[in-house]
Chains A and B, each alone.
Chain A
Amino acid sequence: MSSPSTGSGIIASTAAELAGAIASGEISAVEVTRAHLARIAAVDDTIHAFLYVDGERALARAAAVDAKVAAGDKLGPLAGVPLALKDVLTYTGAPTTCGSKILQGWIPPYNATVTQRLLDADIVILGKTNMDEFAMGSSTENSAYGPTRNPWDTDRIPGGSGGGSAAALAAFEAPLAIGSDTGGSIRQPASVTGTVGVKPTYGGTSRYGLVAMASSLDQPGPCARTVLDAALLHEVIAGHDPCDSTSIDAPVPPIVEAARSGDVAGLKIGVVAELAGEGYAPGVEQRFRESVELLAGLGAEIIEVSCPHFTYALGAYYLIMPSEASSNLAKFDAMRFGLRVGDDGTHSAEQVMSLTREAGFGAEVKRRIIIGTYALSSGYYDAYYGQAQKVRTLISRDFESAFSSVDVLVSPSTPITAFPLGEKVDDPLAMYLNDLCTIPSNLAGNASASFPIGLAPEDGLPVGLQVMAPPLADDRLYRVGAALERELTARWGGPLLDRIRDLQEVAT
C-alpha cells in the first residue's frame, strides 16, 4: 500500500487510508482535494470523466473538514475523502445534465438524498461525472457532451452508463464515486475498468433526486477501487428515506463487517449455467473459471445452477425499461425546466414541446421512447409489456429457486472486455448485449456487484466477476468480493490497477 502523505501517494491511496490520515492529522483534507483536482487537471482532457469540476466548493468543504479535525470534532469514516458524483443525481449549485442537451446548464433546486448523505458524512464532492444520456447506454458514447475514455486504453469505451464514474476511479481522479444501475450501469463500467461497483438491493438506497429512467429498476450505488471502500461508501448512502416510497424501512445489512472479513468457508456459491458459452470472450471465461476455483480453494462449495428464464431477461428488460422511460421522460416538456425550442409566439405549447424534444434528445433516447410508446400502445400492450411483466415473475422465481440451495450466484459481469469507441454506436442490439449478465438482478431487485478478477490474456483488458445475492443480503456480495480481492492481490503482488499505463505518458 502506498503512503497517503506524498503527492502521488495521495491519489493512489484508498479512501479508507485517506480518511485515516485526515482524521489523524497526518495530511489535511485540503491537500487531498488539491492532489485530486491537480490529477483531474492533468488527465481529464484525455479521459473526460467529468462534465463539471466543482473545485472551489470542494476545497471549501475540505477546509471545513480540516477545521473539524483541528477542533477535535467526531468525524464520519470517510470525512474529507473526495468523490465523483454521477450527473444523474441532483446537487444544488452545480448543473445536473444527465448527459443530455435538454438539461444543459440546469441547476437543481434541491439535493438528492444520496447527495445529502454524502455531504452530511463530510465527503468532498469533486464534481459531476459523464454518462450516457439519461443513463441509456453501455459505453458513455450516448452522452451529448462526448464520450469518456477507458484509462486502460483510451481508444476504448469505459462502459456505461456510469463510464465517467468508473473512469474517474481507474484514472486516479477520485478514490470514490457514485453510480446508478438500471440494467448494469454500475457493474458493467466497473468490470471493464478493473474497479468495484455495487448495485444495492432495490430500495436499499434512495432514488429521491435521482433523475429517473425506469423507476422499478433504477438504483444508486457505490463505486470504488477496493471492496472495503465500496462498503464504507455504501453504508454512508444506504438506509430508509421517507422521500422515496420504495425505500426499504429496515436496517442496512452488515456490509462493512463483511468487507473486512472476506470469509467464504462453507459458503454455497452457484455458477449460473445460462451465463456462459457463445458470445463470451475466452479471456473472460478463463479468468472467471480461475476465480471460481480460487473461491473453492478458500472453502466455498461450488454448485452449478440453472436459471432457465435468464435467457429471456434481455427481451423483457428492453420492453419494461423503455416503457417506464417513455413515461418518465414525458416530464421533459419544455415548460418548467431545461431546454425550450421554437417559442417564437406562433408555435403552440405542443409544437414547442415536440421541437424541443427533437432538439434536446439524442438518438438512443428517441429509440427507447418510441419503443416504449409502441409497447404500451393499445393492441400491443398484452403481447409486449404484459408478457414482459410475466417473464419478470419467472426470472424472480428462478432466483428464489436458486437461493433456496445456494447463498450467492456468480457469473462474468459482462460477456466481453472493453470494446473500441465507435464499434457499436449505431448497432443498438449489439450494444444491449453488454448487459446480458447484469439485467436479471435489476428485474428481480436483488443485490449484485462486480469485482475485478484480472486481465483477459488476449487483450490485456480488465475482467469482472459478478456476485448476485438475495434481496437484503448485500453483505454476501462484500464477503465474496473481499475474498477475491485478498487472494488475487496477493497473487498479483499488488492491486490490479498497479498494472495500468501511466496516463500522463499517454497524454504527452
Chain B
Amino acid sequence: MALSPDDVAALARLARIELTDEELAHLAPQLDVILESVTRVADVAADDIPPTSHALPLTNVFREDVVRPCLPREAVLAGAPATEQDRFRVPRILGEEA
C-alpha cells in the first residue's frame, strides 16, 4: 500500500486541511502503519454478510409538525468568528478569476 507524503497531501486537500511538509513526512508512515493494521478486516470471508451501519435497527423517526421556538438570533451569532448585519460574515466564496 505504502502511502506517500504526496498521497497524504491529496487526502488532506480533500479534507480541507493545509498540512505542512514536515507534517506530511511525519504522518505518512504513521498512517501507513494504521492502514496496514486495519486491512486485517479483509481476511474475513464476508461476501454474503450484510453490512451493519448502525447498532440498532433504525426506522425513520417522525415528530408532530408543531411550531417550536428556535434559538434567538443573538445566541446563534454569539459564537460566530465574524458577523455583519445580523448574519454570519464569511470570506469570499469565488476565486479571483471568477
Q: Which residues of B contact A355 (CB under 8 A)?
A: 18
A339–B3 alpha-carbon span in the complex (Å)? 30
A194: chain B residues at CB < 8 Å are none
Chain A residues lying within 8 Å of B49, measured Cβ to Cβ, are 390, 393-394
A428 within 8 A of B: yes
Size category of the A interface is 35 or more
B2 contacts A by Cβ under 8 Å:
no
In the complex, the chain A residue whose C-beta lies closest to that of B55 is A445
**0 or 1 for each of B11-43: is its CB under 8 Å from A? (1 = yes):** 111111111100100010011011101111111
Query: CB distance A358 to B19 under 8 Å?
Result: yes
Count residues of B near A (Cβ-Cβ below 8 Å).
Answer: 54
Contact A248 B79 (CB under 8 A): no
B92 and A387 contacting across the interface, CB-CB below 8 Å: no
Interface string of B75-98 (1 = CB under 8 A from A): 110111110000010111111000
Q: Is the CB–CB distance between B34 and A389 below 8 Å?
A: no
| Of A318, A354, A371, A444, the contact of B55 (CB 8 Å cutoff) | A444
- Count A-B contacts at CB 8 Å: 184
Contact B92 A348 (CB under 8 A): yes
B67 within 8 A of A: no
A155 interface hit (Cβ, 8 Å): no
- Min Cβ gap A326→B in Å is 6
Taken together as a complex, chains A and B put the C-alpha atoms of A132 and B52 apart, in Å, by: 27
Report B43-65 residues with CB < 8 Å from chain A CB: 43-44, 46, 49-56, 58, 61, 63
Answer yes or no: A481 CB below 8 A from chain B CBs.
no
**Once the chains bind, are B91 and A339 in contact (CB under 8 Å)?**
no
Q: Is A386 an interface residue (CB 8 A)?
A: yes
Kindly identify which residue among A335, A339, A349, A393 contacts B51, using a CB–CB cutoff of 8 Å: A393
Q: How far is the CB of B91 from chain A (nearest CB, A)?
A: 4
A319–B90 touching, CB < 8 Å: no
For chain A, residues 383 to 437, give those with C-beta under 8 angstroms from any C-beta of chain B. 383-384, 386-394, 396, 426, 428-429, 432
A345 to chain B, nearest CB (A): 8
- Contact code string A242-281 (vs B, CB < 8 Å = 1, else 0): 1001101000000000000000000000000000000000
Which residues of chain A from 86 to 114 have a CB within 8 Å of any chain B CB? 106-110
Q: Does A312 contact B (CB under 8 A)?
A: yes
Question: In chain A, residues 363-386, which have Cβ atoms closer than 8 Å to a Cβ of chain B?
Answer: 363, 366-367, 369-371, 373-374, 377, 383-384, 386
Complex CA–CA separation, A106 to B81 (angstroms): 10
**Cα separation A101 to B23 with both chains bound (whole Å):** 18
A318 touches B17 (CB 8 A): no
Q: Which of B23, B44, B91 contacts A343 (CB 8 A)?
A: B91
> In the bound complex, do residue A108 and residue B56 qualify as a contact, i.e. CB atoms below 8 Å apart?
no
Across the interface, name the chain B residue whose C-beta is closest to A219.
Answer: B55
B17 near A374 with CB under 8 A, answer no
List 9 interface pairs A-B (beta carbons < 8 Å), by A numbering.
Answer: A106-B79, A109-B76, A314-B37, A371-B38, A373-B15, A374-B31, A374-B35, A390-B51, A393-B52
7 A-B pairs besides A369-B15, A370-B8, A391-B46 with CB distance below 8 A are: A110-B71, A336-B88, A339-B81, A370-B11, A390-B44, A429-B37, A445-B54
* Interface residue ranges, B against A (CB under 8 Å): 3, 8, 11-20, 23, 27, 30-31, 33-35, 37-44, 46, 49-56, 58, 61, 63, 71, 75-76, 78-82, 88, 90-95
Please give me the 10 A-B residue pairs with the lowest Cβ-Cβ distance, nearest first: A445-B55, A389-B51, A340-B81, A390-B46, A109-B75, A354-B18, A358-B18, A337-B79, A392-B52, A315-B38
